[in-house]
């Protein structure tokens, strides 16, 4: 079956540090991959997505590349800000089967 595994948190970084949140997936087909972000007290917001191998999704300084050979979709940002503090969810969609990772809480300190 389909599944998503992402690194456990919490992750605590200082402002302007480099961020990586690892995500790997298992899928029977050719899924689309997503990162969602959830700020405190809010729902999930789509951060970025990639629909096929080697695609790079990017938004607000965040990037993730769809790596079929390693079944990964790691989230990166070169310089985090306090306002990036949130919970980040990796997800896949494979023929209407949507799966989410458990979420990684990021705290950025000034």
Query: Shortest CA distance to 26 belongs to which of 88, 76, 101, 89?
Result: 101
Handedness of CA 106, 24, 52, 63 (dihedral sign): positive
**45 is a site residue for other proteins (CB under 8 A):** yes
**100 is a site residue for other proteins (CB under 8 A):** yes
Q: Which is nearer to other proteins, 46 or 82 (CB)?
A: 46
**44 is a site residue for other proteins (CB under 8 A):** yes
Query: Shortest CA distance to 32 belongs to which of 66, 7, 60?
Result: 66
Q: Which is nearer to other proteins, 17 or 59 (CB)?
A: 59
Q: What's the CA gap between 63 and 19, in Å, rounded?
A: 10
Binding site for other proteins (CB under 8 A): 32, 34, 36, 41-46, 49, 51, 89, 93, 95-96, 98, 100-103
């Amino acid at each position: 079956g389909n599944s998503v595994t992402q690194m456990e948190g919490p992750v605590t970084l200082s402002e302007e540090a480099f961020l990586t949140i690892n995500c790997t997936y298992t899928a029977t087909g050719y899924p689309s991959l997503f990162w969602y972000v959830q700020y405190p007290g809010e729902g999930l917001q789509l951060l970025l997505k990639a629909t096929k191998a080697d695609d790079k999704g990017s938004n607000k300084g965040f990037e993730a590349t769809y790596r079929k050979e390693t079944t990964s979709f790691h989230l990166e940002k070169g310089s985090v800000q306090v306002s990036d503090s949130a919970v980040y969810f990796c997800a896949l969609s494979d023929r209407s089967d949507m799966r989410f990772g458990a979420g990684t809480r990021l705290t950025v300190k000034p």
